[in-house]
Chain A
Amino acid sequence: MDLSLTDEQKVRKQEFDDTCKELEKKKPPSFVGFETIYEVDECWEYNLYCAKEFAKKGWLALGWPPEYAGKGDMMDRVLFAEARGYYGIPGVDIFGVQMLAPTLLQAASEEIKREFLPPIARGEVMWCELWSEPNAGSDLASLSTTAIKKGDEYIINGQKTWNTGAHKADWGFGVFKTDPTARKHHNITFLLHDMKTPGITVRPIPYLDGHAPYAEVYFDDVHVPAKNIVGQEHEGWAVVNLLAGFERSGINEIMSMIRGLEQLVTFCNETKRHGQLLAKNPLVRNRLAELACELEAARALAYRVADLQNRNEMSLMDASAGKIFFSELGERFAFLATDILGPYGQVKTSRWAPLDGLWEKMFHEHFITTVSMGTNEIQRNIIAWYGLGLPRMR
C-alpha cells in the first residue's frame, strides 16, 4: 500500500491547483454548482472559457496516447479532477472529455478518432449524451428511437429525454435501434451527430427547482452520415457498457463536498445561535464529524477506483459502490447543511442566503447523481449480480 505522490506528480498537482485557484477568481456570481453551466448563459460562457484555458495546457487530453496529442497519465487526470472539484471549476466536458473520448480511443475507427478527438482536446466542441427515452430509462436496451440505414446515411426518428446540456451542446452521441427485428442488445447502434442537423428539436425541461439543466430531444427524419458510427453496427450495446465504465470515480464531487464542508465549518465557527457559536453545539459537532468520516471514506474508495483504472484493471464493483456511496453522501450532506442553516437553508442565492445559496441548490441537485449514470438501484444490481454472483432477475 502506498498512497504517496511522486515528486513529478506533486509538481503537476500544484500546477492544477494554482490554475484552478486563478480561474475561481473569474467565476460569475450566478455560478452555484456544476449544473449551473447548463442553466445560466454567463455560466456557460465561463465553462467555455475554462475549457479553452485547460486546452491551452493540454489538460483536456490527459491520459490519451501521444499520437492524439495526449499528455500525462491517468493519475494526472485524478489530480486534475481533485483540483477542479475543490475549486468548483467547470471546463471539462463530462460528455466529450470524460465519457466519449476514452470510448473513442478504445472502440472507434482511426478515421473517427482523427476527426473527433482533436476538437475535444481543443475545447471547441461540447457534447451531450442521448440515451434515455420516455419508455427506456433503467431498461435502456428497450429503447425505440430508430436509425434506419439508407445508402450512406442513417435516418433517425423518435425521442430522447433527460439529456443534460443538450440545449447547449454542439454534438451528441446516442444509441438508436438500427435493426427492429433483431433481439434485444443486438439491435442498437452507437452514432455521433451534429446537434444542428435539420429535424432535431431540443426542448429544455425545467428541473424541480425551475432551472433547466437538461432537455428532451426530438428526431424527425434526421439524416446522419453512416460513417459516424462507433463500434459495430447493431452492437452499440457493447459501446454503452464500455462508456459506462468511464464514468466518473466521483473524485470531482467528493472534493467539491470537502470544500463545502470546510466552508460550513467556517460558518459554524462564526455564527451564533441561542447565544453560542454553532460550532459549540455538541449535536452540530457530532453530525459534521460523522459526515467528515463518510467523506473521507468516499475519497479513499475513489482512490481505490482510480488506482484500479490506472492499471487498466476492471473496477466495476468498486465504481458502482463508489457511485452509490458518494451520491447518497451528497443527499445526506444537503440535508445536514440545510438543517444547520435553519430557516436560511431554504433561501436561494441572494443577500439573505448564507454560503451563496449553495446548500439550497444542493437540496435539489443531489438527485442528479443518485438518479443519473445508472440509478443507485441499478448500481446495487450490478454489485449483486456481477460482483457477488447472486442470481439475476428474470
Chain B
Amino acid sequence: MDLRFTETQEILKKMARDFLTTECPKTLVRKLEQSEEGYSPELWKKMAELGWMGLIIPEEYGGMGYTFQDLVVLLEEIGRNILPGPLIATIANTFPILEAGTEEQKKELLPKIAQGELIFTTALLEGDGVFDASGIAVKATPKGDDFIINGTKLFVEMAHVANYILCVTRTKDGTSPEKGITLFIVDSTTPGISCEVMPTTAADKLCEVRFKDVNVPKKNMLGKIDEGWPIVEMLLRKGAIAKCAESIGAIETCVEMTVAYSKERVQYERPIGAFQALQHIMADMWTAMETSRYLVYEAAWMESEGLPCAKEASMAKAYVNEVYKNLSKWAVRVHGAIATSADHDIPLYYRRSKAADIAFGGTDFHREIVAQKIGLV
C-alpha cells in the first residue's frame, strides 16, 4: 500500500498546474461563461498538444497510454482552475469507444480525439431527467442500412460545439427498461439535428438536442443492438470517478482560498481566522476534503486495476456531490458578503458544485446503486 502519487503523476500534476495557471485565469473562465461557444478553441489546441484528450488512449491509437488514475491527477488540476469546455465530456466518450467500439471505430475516432480534432459528447438524459434506463424514450428505428432517430435529448453538455454525439436510444420495448437500449455515434452535422443551449447555474452550455428523422448508418452503432445499457453503466461509472477527481481539485481550491482569506480579513482588530466559530468550520471543510480525496483515490485505483468497483465509484460520487456543494457553500459564508458578488471567484466554484452533482448521476441515483451493492434486496 502506498497512497502517494507516482513520480510520473507528480510531473503531470506540476505540468498541468503550471499550464493552467498561465493559460486559464479566472478572467478567461468568466469570458467563456458569457461566450456562445463556452470553450476556447485556442486553449483546446494547446491542451491537445500536451496530449490531454488522449491521455488514457493507448499509444496504438495515437494516445499517451496513461492509466485511469493518472487521468484523475490531471482532472484534479482541471478542477482547481475550473477550466470550462468539453474536455471531460470528450474524454468520457473515449471509455465506451475503447471498451465497446469496433476496431474500425477505434481507428477512425480515437486518433482524432487524441489530436484534439474532435469534440465528443453524450446524449443520455431526456424529459424525465433520470439517469436510469427508464428515462430513455428517444427511438431509433431500422431502415435499410440505416437507423432513423427521433426524439429530444436534454442536458447534453456542449452539444452545440460537438462534432459527434453518442446518442442513447431505445430500439425495442423490452421486458425491463435496460433491455432494448442501443448506442449510436451520431455526426452532429447530420440533417435533422437541432440544438439549443439551456441557461444553467454553472453556465456550462448544457443543450437541448432535437432529433427529427436523423439518419445514422448502421456501422455507427456502438456495441450491440438492444444491449447498450451496460455500456452506459460503464460510462457513468468511469465518468463519475472522473467528475469526482475534478471536484476534488475544486474543493481543495475552496479550502485554500477560504483559509487564506480568513488570515487577511480583519474585524474586531484581528483576522477573522482567529475566531473559533470559523476555525472549526474550516477544520470541518478540511476533514471533508480529505475523506473525499481518499475515497476517490480508492475508486480510481480500483478502476485503474480493472477491479470491479461499481460500488466504490457510486460511493465516491454520492459522497463528493454533497461535500462539494456544502463545502463551497461554507466557503461563501466564511468569506461573507464579498463572496456573494459575481466578481468574486468563490461563487464560480459554488455554482459549479451543482453541475458537478448532476453530471454522471446525482446523489440519490448513486445511493440507490450503493443500496443494491451493499446487499439490500
Give the interface of A toward B (CB within 8 A): 1-5, 75, 261-262, 265-266, 268-269, 277, 279-280, 284-286, 288-290, 292-294, 296-298, 300-301, 303-304, 306-307, 310, 317-318, 320-321, 324-325, 377, 379-381, 383-385, 387-391, 393
Q: With A and B bound together, what is the CA distance between A262 and B263 in angstroms?
A: 45
Q: Which of A265, A290, A297, A380 contacts B375 (CB 8 A)?
A: A265
Are B262's CB and A390's CB within 8 A? yes
Is B337's beta carbon under 8 Å from chain A? no
Are B283's CB and A388's CB within 8 A? yes
Q: Which of B282, B291, B295, B364 contacts A286 (CB 8 A)?
A: B364
Cβ of B100 to closest chain A Cβ, rounded Å: 27
The residue of chain B having its C-beta at the shortest distance from the C-beta of A394 within the complex is B274
Q: Which of A1, A285, A286 contacts B3 (CB 8 A)?
A: A1
User: Can you report 9 A-B residue pairs in the complex whose CB atoms are below 8 A from each other?
Assistant: A1-B300, A262-B375, A265-B376, A292-B315, A293-B367, A297-B319, A307-B1, A307-B3, A380-B279
Is B143's beta carbon under 8 Å from chain A? no
Q: With A and B bound together, what is the CA distance between A23 and B6 in angstroms?
A: 40
Beyond A288-B374, A293-B370, A301-B294, whether A310 also contacts B1 by CB under 8 A is: yes
Residues of A within 8 Å of B262, CB to CB, are 390
Cβ of A79 to closest chain B Cβ, rounded Å: 10
Most buried by A among B302, B305, B315: B315
For chain A, what secondary structure do more than half of its interface residues adopt (helix, strand, loop), or is it mixed? helix
Q: Which of B1, B5, B259 contacts A388 (CB 8 A)?
A: B259
Q: Which of B1, B305, B375 contacts A75 (CB 8 A)?
A: B1
Q: With A and B bound together, what is the CA distance between A90 and B294 in angstroms?
A: 28
Minimum-distance CB pairs A-B, first 3:
A300-B294, A384-B279, A289-B367
Residues of A within 8 Å of B274, CB to CB, are 390-391, 393
Are B270's CB and A380's CB within 8 A? no
Are B4's CB and A288's CB within 8 A? no
Are A285's CB and B298's CB within 8 A? no
Is B90's beta carbon under 8 Å from chain A? no
Are A384's CB and B374's CB within 8 A? no
Is B2's beta carbon under 8 Å from chain A? yes
Extra pairs beyond A321-B287, A379-B283 (12, CB < 8 Å): A1-B6, A2-B301, A261-B374, A265-B376, A286-B364, A297-B291, A310-B1, A317-B286, A383-B283, A390-B279, A391-B263, A393-B274
The residue of chain B having its C-beta at the shortest distance from the C-beta of A277 within the complex is B377
Beyond A390-B274, A393-B276, whether A297 also contacts B368 by CB under 8 A is: no
